[in-house]
């Protein structure tokens, strides 16, 4: 199993209940794809560098997952179909990115 970062931007005008519904759906999609959730960072609403769907803010979620197979095909394509999901990015985590330069 390899480690991946799954980064999502949701609609910024969601209520707390709607955000928890989206998080539950994402976690169920991960389990259905055979992935393991390692970590979740939730910075919340942040300003975007450029507008998405005419909105200048987005609700950010950063997942760290372990999965085998192709998460872009299995997970990201499913999450892009959700109405409240604005952007999905899947990046393979590489250990050499975490080393500090001398």
Q: Mean per-residue pLDDT for 52-74?
A: 89
Q: What is the CATH number of the domain that holds 60?
A: 3.30.70.60
Residue 67 within any structural domain of the chain: yes
The whole-number pLDDT of residue 69 equals 79
- Work out how many domains the chain is built from and give that number: 1
DSSP 83: T
CA distances from 92 to 1, 64, 74 (A): 11, 10, 14
pTM to 2 decimal places: 0.85
| Position 61 pLDDT exceeds 60 | yes
**CA dist list (Å): 25 to 30, 50, 92, 93:** 9, 27, 22, 23
Query: Rounded to whole angstroms, how far apart are CA atoms 72 and 15?
Result: 28
Evaluate whether residue 14 is within a structural domain: yes
Residue 9 has pLDDT above 60, yes or no: yes
Backbone phi and psi for residue 64, each to the nearest 5 degrees, phi listed first: -115, 125
For residue 97, what pLDDT is reported?
66
Bridge pairing between strands 2-10 and 85-92: antiparallel
pLDDT beyond 70 at 100: no
Which domain, by its residues, includes 29?
A: 2-95
H or E, element range at 28? helix 16-32
100 part of a folded domain? no
Q: Is residue 39 part of a domain?
A: yes
What's the pLDDT score for residue 46? 94
The predicted model gives 1-21 an average pLDDT of 92
């Amino acid at each position: 199993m390899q480690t991946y970062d799954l980064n999502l931007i949701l609609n910024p005008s969601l209520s707390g209940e709607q955000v928890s519904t989206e998080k539950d759906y994402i976690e169920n999609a991960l389990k259905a794809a055979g992935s393991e959730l390692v970590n979740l960072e939730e910075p919340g609403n942040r300003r975007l560098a450029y507008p998405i769907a005419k909105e200048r803010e987005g609700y950010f979620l950063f997942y760290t997952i372990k999965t085998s197979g192709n998460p872009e095909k299995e997970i990201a394509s499913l999450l892009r179909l959700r109405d409240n999901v604005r952007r999905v990015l899947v990046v393979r985590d590489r250990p050499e990115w975490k080393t500090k330069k001398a």
